Structure 1
């Protein structure tokens, strides 16, 4: 049996296939998912699992160099925005790196998801709880 935090086989496999600059998206339950992008659907019910739960587990496994979020999250979902900033700060300390944080309009964000290798759909029911994790390298 795999030892570690992330035991979901599809997510683990998707991360293992990432190269430098490849994207994985963690999405709330309402984000449209392009037909050509792998959908990993974890949504069970409202809030289960939450966006932040999934983000924290994925970050335990993936080396990230940039995060992309919608500008609207600041105003429309300040609680998630603050949690995102705290999570990014903790990730930087743990990994001893500096992440680039890019904010784009929600429309641009949705266009960017078309390039993702996979989109992980959560049970999150709050607006703009979405993030693109752009892969870095471990060396």
Structure 2
């Protein structure tokens, strides 16, 4: 155990966050996301939801400030009558660290982007369209 490290962050996830460089992306995936079939590196965070993991990750992980939209969400498929209140929760968490600049990515484009991500973290999140991509920035302090 270490002081100041959120307990939801496993040693494996901490290692991945440290390995990632500027511009690398990580996906926090909901329970329905095909994480195992799309991941270069698959990390499990079973029993947890994305908001609590997002809050913990962003306490250590800088978002990219050099490009547009360092955060991406899977857009709702046209015609799908789904509410996405979790997106507002994400915006609130992100706002604690920076002004949210969020991109909305079409479902299959999101899947293709996931295949190129540095890692995918599979959670037990039950909310629909709760997948989020975070692009790593730099530490300037």
Residues 134 and 107 of structure 1, relative CA distance in 2, 3 Å threshold: same
SS of the aligned residue for 1:138 comes to coil
What's the offset of the Cα at 1:6? Answer: 3.2
SS of the aligned residue for 2:48 comes to coil
Q: Deviations over 1:18-42 (max 9, x none)?
A: 1110011100011112355111111
What's the offset of the Cα at 1:99? Answer: 4.8
SS of the aligned residue for 2:15 comes to helix
Which residue of 90, 101, 118 maps to 1:84?
90
Alignment of 1:4-19 (within 5 A): 4-7=4-7, 8-19=10-21
In structure 2, the residue matched to 1:42 is 45
> Could you tell me how far apart the structure 1 residues matched to 2:118 and 2:103 are?
19
SS of the aligned residue for 1:63 comes to coil
CA root-mean-square deviation: 1.8
What's the offset of the Cα at 1:77? Answer: 3.7
- Name the one with the larger helix percent: 1
In structure 2, the residue matched to 1:127 is 128
Structure 1 unaligned regions, length at least 5: 93-97
> Could you tell me how far apart the structure 1 residues matched to 2:13 and 2:39 are?
17
Paired residues in the alignment total: 129
Alignment of 1:54-133 (within 5 A): 54-65=53-64, 66-72=70-76, 76-92=82-98, 98-133=99-134
Q: Give yes or no for contact 2:29–2:122 (8 Å, CA) kept in 1.
A: yes
TM-score, length-scaled by structure 1: 0.84
Structure 2 unaligned regions, length at least 5: 65-69
In structure 1, the residue matched to 2:26 is 24
